[in-house]
Amino acid sequence: MFWQKLILIFKDRDLRKKIFFVLMILVLFRVGAAIPIPGVDVEQLQKFFRGNQFFGLLNIFTGGALSNLSIMMLGVAPYITASIIMQLLTMIFPALKQMYYEEGGVGRQKFNQYSRLLTVPLAAMQGFGLLTLLHRQNVLGELTFFEQMTNIIIVTAGSVLLMWLGELISEYGIGNGISLLIFAGIVAGIPAAAGQVLYTFDYSQIPLLITFIVAACAIIAGVVIITQGERPIPISYAKRIRGMRVYGGVSTYLPLRVNQAGVIPIIFALSILLFPQMIANAMAAVDVSIIQTTAKILINFMNIPWIYAGFYFLLVFLFTYFYTAVTFDPDAIANNLQKSGAFIPGIRPGSSTAAFIHRVLNRITLIGAIFLGLIAVLPLAMRAVTGMAALAIGGTALLIVVSVVLETIKQIQAQMVMREYE
């Protein structure tokens, strides 16, 4: 059955062209991710990433480009951050909210253009911060001011290029371009991780390896269940009589996803956790004893695994609720239902419907928030329990991979169904 579907996909000329276009863009991305910026000390870089779990997690969202300080080391993180900031601003500025939610396709295009423009200064700021931090860790050698500015311009241009490639995939290919770029980086890192496990493998670790495989299968199953999980709210449409015809009277449902926010809360939590470490490293270079002592206390505090994991879990949990509240408006849903003559059986239209949707959304978001928090801290917990970084299950990476695969398969199936109708 699988092979028959695969043959049908590649028999379709349009679909085949889209798939090969996506593959070509992903190859370009991997080539760019292998080109390092000038002045990198490879040995110090590998040592730094082996001893820093946080930057290992951040490396996921750069598609593996951060681990070798490539020209695309920032990945799509600045664009994602810009999109999040713009969506948050819709809560403050009514004009932006109207542009995003009420002006249709034209408004969305204008809104996305603002996100692209905001990406450039964010990429420059993030590039400057990361390069300064890595320079203080002796990963980068001594560079002149001109060389430093050149590196910042290079990594900013690399991030903007990735943003453009992602949008090309979304427009001319299959699936969400930004998600596919992150997916490609994660998958590209699997052979190296597997090689590291095999290189350090000992027969005494066979029980641990079996436990790891069973746990990985259970996590993948959990990710699929939570990602696909929905709470359907029944919707009925009132009957309307026009002339000799009766319209409406049909029943449908409003699907509320358990994981409404996707992986955005994890990305946002990582961004927030990055700032204290960058500030502490900057303070440690100041020639004032009190500031240096404060910086050392902060660095040591953030390096305690369980405290760090606790903060990480709490931030992911809170941001899941926050992002869900930003992107899903029960009041707007209730108003749209009332305007179209729809109602939830047993619930009065208007404010009562909004309150009901809000109550149901809060309950299922609790499950999604706990799930995302556990997935986020899972690599840290596995590393603490096993003591082996190579066997640390990348829960965040698994969540992204499974979500992207499921979404891409849905889009391919939708394309095939559309062509069958034609």
CA distance 97 to 327: 11
Strands across the sheet containing 230-237: 251-257, 230-237, 342-343
**Domain 1-188 is of which CATH architecture?**
Orthogonal Bundle (1.10)
Q: Which of 122, 37, 7 is nearest to 76 (CA)?
A: 122
Q: State the Cα–Cα distance between residues 230 and 303, nearest whole angstrom.
A: 38
CATH architecture of 200-391: Orthogonal Bundle (1.10)
Indicate if 200-391 has the same CATH topology as 1-188: yes
Half-sphere exposure of 29 (CA within 13 A, CB side): 36
pLDDT at position 204, please?
66
pLDDT one-digit tens code per residue, 160-214: 998 898 888 888 888 778 878 888 877 777 776 666 666 666 666 677 777 777 7
Instruction: Locate 339 and state its tokens.
Output: 């305007």
pTM of this structure? 0.75
Q: What is the pLDDT of residues 85-122, one digit of tens each?
A: 887 788 788 888 788 777 767 888 888 888 889 989 88
Domain ranges of the chain: 1-188, 200-391
Rounded to an integer, what distance in angstroms lies between the CA atom of residue 116 and that of residue 129?
Answer: 20
Is residue 262 pLDDT above 70, yes or no?
A: yes
pLDDT at 151 over 80: yes
Q: What is the DSSP letter of 234?
A: E
Q: How do residues 265-323 score in pLDDT, each as one tens digit?
A: 877 777 677 666 666 666 666 666 777 777 777 767 766 777 777 888 888 888 888 88
